[in-house]
Chains A and B, each alone.
Chain A
Amino acid sequence: MIRGVDVGLAACHTCELVVNLGGSRDGAEATCPRCHARVRFRKARAGTHVTALLIAAVALYLPANALTMMYTEEFPMRRADTILSGVKFLWQQGSPGLAVIVFAASILVPLLKLAALGFLVVTAKRHSGWRPRTRTKLYRVLEVIGYWSMLDVFVVSLLTAVVQLGRFAHIAPGPAVLPFAGVVVLTMLASASFDARTLWDRGSA
């Protein structure tokens, strides 16, 4: 199987124009003749980008789960829930379905995303030849489910806006909302800056 890089061809990342990079592979800066975007064989330092964003996401993942996500004041109850305690509360209150959804969207998916991206970055860096097709599929799944893990932030934003019944019921966002949103955004950026083509670069290249 011949790769573009093997014959000096590259597609512009912006306008998809295939250009002949020729011998200017190293040390030079090539610009797309049509849209003036940078043209590279692979996304520039993709591995570094993804690694940096992943580290940032992991760093924010901890406070996002440890801190309070939502303050609920529903007379006479007053609760301060982290994501996990909210899931537990939902489960105990007899909404196991809802609990599972929240658990999956808010805890499992971000965690899997971080792990999967990390796995992809490491294998790409090592030019592993292990099942490039499966790994590419995994990457596509990550891309698709990426924005669904914003669920918690959406819920809190909506409830905060809707449930403002004065002393009777009152919901306020907790300090965990920002780090959580950060995790979601950073993982999305990381998966976007990942270059799936690197999955196909064998060790020889």
Chain B
Amino acid sequence: MNDSRFEDLPVPVVRKRKRGWPSAVWIVPILAIAAASALAIRAYLQRGPTIQITFETADGLEVGKSDVRYKNLPVGTISNIELADDERTIIATVKLDRGAAKLAVTDSRFWVERPRVGVGGVSGLGTLLSGAYIGVDHGASKDKADHFKGLEKPPGIMHDQVGRRFRIDAIDAGSLSVHTPVYLRRQQVGAISALELSPDGTRVAIEVFIDSPYDRVVTDTTVFWNTSGLDIAIDATGLRLNTQSLASVVAGGIAFGTRPGDPPGRPVAENTKFPLFDDRAHAMARPDPSQLPLKMRFHQPLRGIGLGAQIDFEGVRVGQIDAMNLGYDAAAHGFYTDVDATVYPERLGAAYAALVEEGQRRGKTGPEMLQSLVARGLRAQLRSGNFLTGQFFIALTWFPDQRSKEVGADHPGVWVVPTERGGTDQIQDQVESIVAKIDKIPFDAIGNDTRDTMRAATSLLGHVDRDVVPSAQQLVGQAGAAMLAVREAVGALRDNVAAPDSAIQQTTRSTLEQLENAARSLRGLADYLQHHPESILRGRASGAEPKGSP
């Protein structure tokens, strides 16, 4: 079908065709698919696990914006936030980076980092600008997990911190809370990592974390005490102020140490339980191995005595008051106060040991020994401890006059000590007696005496007026005449000495003139010698008169 009309059109150069390879263009899709697969595989490999964390609130969290950070390094992002099925919590779905996959283990902890201002310091300030983020604490477990319950506050102790945990059993947590520092010799060596009320609400279980190496300082002789707030003690030694640091004054704190004199002790295992003492003084006081219940009945008002008031024996604080009950004695138609107290006899030290020894030697029991002490006059008495604060204490002291008094046997197992009036009553009595003495002073008679004395003084003055004054006047007249004579004598003396023509004056003037002449000739000699020094050897040259001064 070649048309002859196109015969004059150019004819292409026609060559034999070469071998027919499949088109090279197929390399392109092969390369593209390879590249796409490589990208897909890489993306798949880089994809970390997706985990879900429940939080109380989504405050500050935003999908796509808030990230997950481990040691402040972004390791994932929040891909979704939704309400949990129970509508009480929110569930944040987090995509972790590939490298952070190992963070998703069972005991990892997640919390929302927000700006927090506390007494102990400020944290999370960066989140003010960047918004909240989810912090991670890498758990030690190897078991993978993908559901977590988020903490509302950062955990006190991170997993990678080296140290040990100990349990502290407290009755009252005071101002302690998680993150509250733990001090050793006023240096912070740890913090409270957990704090919770026991289920029955009677105690507070505190978990402290002591950083290595100071965790080894905690031994079986270690005592923990609360250093919260100001520990002000006013006692016989004056005013003492014990604080750990300014932060602990406000935020509270726990300190630990060993009682002076105690051995360092043996190391204890982690999670060993310790009691928490209220303050350093209580912690440092040795525990009292034996306690004696003591009963006393006071027939006087116990104003100024409170629970815990001290009981003193020979200056040693041996116990404290536990209970006080007001009673009514129908027979005597009077009120009395029963006081229950606890006494720690070990505080008497060697004295107690000696007493026990004596009791054993004489085959007497404790109550019998007390009976014998009472028989020798041991009594309890209310005494004023501090006039400023109005505090009283109960002293076990001796009244040798009152020896025989039966120890009441109506309280088995309880040691009863009879009492003696004292304290306020005694002071009142003394004041009364002072007032009575003042009363007895005869103010009337003293007034009369005074009046008599005044009268005698007046008559004495009258006598002086009448007899003494005239003779005094006479004496003054004589003195005036004497003065006149003296003046005359002085006038005569002046006439003799000071007149210009008196003999003394004339003699003195001629003497002075002669002295003047002598001085002039001396000056002439000196001048001559100055001009003719040779004259000392050769004598005076003739005609060379020494020139006298004009």
Q: By the criterion of a CB under 8 Å from any partner CB, how many residues of chain A are at the interface?
A: 46
Closest chain B residue to A12, Cβ basis: B12
A164 within 8 A of B: no
B387 within 8 A of A: no
Which one of B14-22, B342-350, B414-422, B469-477 is at the A interface?
B14-22
Contact A22 B2 (CB under 8 A): yes
Q: Tell me if B's interface is mostly helix, strand, loop or mixed.
A: mixed
- Which residue from A20, A33, A49, A63 sits with its C-beta under 8 Å from B13? A33
Given the known interface contacts A59-B32, A179-B35, A179-B36, the answer about A28 and B1 at a Cβ–Cβ threshold of 8 Å is no
Given the known interface contacts A8-B1, A59-B33, the answer about A21 and B12 at a Cβ–Cβ threshold of 8 Å is yes
- Which residue from A6, A56, A77 sits with its C-beta under 8 Å from B28? A56
Q: Please, how many angstroms separate the alpha-carbon atoms of A152 and B40 in the complex?
A: 21
Closest chain A residue to B9, Cβ basis: A20
Chain A residues contacting B543 (CB-CB under 8 Å) are: none
Contact B1 A20 (CB under 8 A): no
Chain A residues contacting B25 (CB-CB under 8 Å) are: 45, 48-49, 52-53
Contact B13 A8 (CB under 8 A): no
Given the known interface contacts A33-B11, A48-B25, A179-B39, the answer about A56 and B32 at a Cβ–Cβ threshold of 8 Å is yes
**Nearest CB of A to B165, in Å:** 36
Task: Using C-beta atoms within 8 Å of the partner chain, give the interface range for chain B.
Answer: 35 or more
Contact A7 B28 (CB under 8 A): no
Contact A57 B17 (CB under 8 A): no
Interface residues of A in 92-127 (CB under 8 A from B): none
**Nearest CB of A to B247, in Å:** 30
Contact A62 B29 (CB under 8 A): no
Contact A52 B28 (CB under 8 A): yes
Contact B130 A76 (CB under 8 A): yes
Closest chain A residue to B16, Cβ basis: A28
**Nearest CB of B to A98, in Å:** 19
- Which residue from A7, A29, A48, A78 sits with its C-beta under 8 Å from B67? A78
Closest chain B residue to A18, Cβ basis: B9
Interface residues of A in 26-69 (CB under 8 A from B): 27-34, 36, 39, 45, 48-49, 52-53, 55-57, 59-60, 62-63, 66-67
Contact A27 B26 (CB under 8 A): no
**Nearest CB of B to A73, in Å:** 11
Chain B residues contacting A31 (CB-CB under 8 Å) are: 12-15
**Nearest CB of B to A14, in Å:** 12
Closest chain A residue to B30, Cβ basis: A56
Most buried by A among B16, B36, B43, B130: B36
Contact A22 B23 (CB under 8 A): no
B131 within 8 A of A: yes
A188 within 8 A of B: no
Closest chain B residue to A21, Cβ basis: B12
Contact A8 B3 (CB under 8 A): yes
Chain A residues contacting B116 (CB-CB under 8 Å) are: none
Contact B10 A17 (CB under 8 A): yes
B64 within 8 A of A: yes
- Against A, the Cβ 8 Å flags (1 = close, 0 = not) of B38-73 are 011001000000000000000000001101000000
Contact B1 A186 (CB under 8 A): no
Chain A residues contacting B130 (CB-CB under 8 Å) are: 75-76
6 tightest A-B contacts by CB? A56-B32, A30-B12, A56-B29, A76-B130, A55-B29, A20-B9
* A-B contacts besides A31-B12, A75-B129, 19 pairs, CB < 8 Å: A8-B6, A9-B6, A19-B10, A20-B11, A21-B12, A24-B14, A28-B14, A28-B16, A33-B11, A34-B10, A48-B26, A52-B26, A59-B33, A62-B40, A63-B35, A63-B39, A79-B64, A85-B64, A179-B39
| 29 contacts across the A-B interface (CB closer than 8 A) | A7-B1, A9-B6, A17-B10, A18-B9, A19-B10, A20-B11, A20-B12, A28-B14, A28-B15, A29-B18, A30-B15, A31-B14, A33-B10, A36-B13, A48-B26, A49-B23, A49-B25, A52-B23, A52-B29, A53-B29, A55-B32, A60-B35, A60-B36, A67-B39, A76-B129, A78-B67, A175-B39, A186-B28, A186-B32
Tell me the B residues contacting A by CB distance below 8 Å.
1-3, 6-7, 9-18, 23, 25-26, 28-29, 31-33, 35-36, 39-40, 43, 64-65, 67, 74, 129-131
